Structure formats: structure tokens, C-alpha cells
Amino acid sequence: MLTGEIIWEFGQNTMSVSPELAERLGFERTSAHAVEITSFRDRVVREDLVVLYERMSRSFLRSEPMVNVYGLHLADGTVRRVRSLSQWKMSDAGQPTLYTASIAEVQSRLHSGIEDEFIERMIDLRFLAERAEDDRYRQIVDRMLREIWTHRRPT
């Protein structure tokens, strides 16, 4: 299974990629701490780039975590679908400092676009509930998300 971490210090031309992920993508393990951003971008399936960039921009503007599903070209010539959970870290002044992402290969065929959009909106709702003074909103959304993840069947 393909898994890994990405850390990008805002403004730098390189990012750190966990050594195992770097190797699977065709980068040297020894240079995993300095992978060119454009080199990583070139591993993303081209059709997925526009949506990925749009969601990254939205996450940046809101300073909220995001979930993305996209394809990565591996060094062996195969393409693997991955789900990433990422977030921008901000300074006290509200400026971006760090982008972090955890990546895991999607093990089953993806569900319909409607299901994926529903889950994305639930996650957005979860972050909105986090800002509410009344904890019950967060608890309700958390229960719904647990129910979705527990009962969502692989197709």
C-alpha cells in the first residue's frame, strides 16, 4: 500500500517527502528531504491537477484541512489513486508557513461523485461546527461522519 507524508515550507521550491513515498515515486531516498515541487506535481495525474489546485486554494483561504483524491504516477509506470488529508499551518499573523499532507492509497474502487461530494461537504460542515460555541453541533456532525465511514461499503 502506498502511504507517505509531504511537508512544504511556504515559499520554498522543494518539499520533504517521506523516504518510502519518494522512492515509489522515483525519487532518490537520500534526496527525499528536497524534492522539487514541480517534480512532485509532474507525478500527479494531469486530469486531477485543476481540482487539486482549486481545493488547495480554498483550504489556504480558509485555513482549514482538506481531503483530496487524485492519481499519482509511480516509478514502475503504474498509477495509484490516493486520498490525502492536508492542511496549511499559519503564523500568528495569519501568514502561511507550512503545508503538510498525509497520503494513503485508496484500497477499493471510489464511490460515486455524489457520495464523494457529500463527504467533502460533511467535512466542511465539521470545520464550521468546530467554530460554534455549542459543542453539540460538532458532536452531531462527528456522529454522522462516524456513521458514514463505518457503513460505507466498498464497491
pLDDT 10s digits, 35-66: 999 999 999 999 999 888 887 777 766 667 77
Separation in Å, CA 98 to CA 60, 86, 134? 11, 10, 30
Closest by Cα among 78, 61, 62, 79 to 70: 79
% residues pLDDT > 90 (the chain): 39
User: Has residue 133 got a pLDDT over 70?
Assistant: yes
User: Has residue 114 got a pLDDT over 70?
Assistant: no
Cut 0.85: pTM above it? no
**Domain 3-107 in CATH 3.40.640.10:** no
Phi, psi of 88 (to 5 degrees): -90, 135
Helix axes 135-151, 113-130, angle to 10 degrees: 150
CA triplet 155, 117, 81: central angle to 5 degrees?
55
Q: Would you tell me how many other CB atoms lie within 10 Å of the CB of residue 70?
A: 20
Please tell me the predicted confidence (pLDDT) of residue 129. Answer: 85
| For residues 90-118, average pLDDT | 79
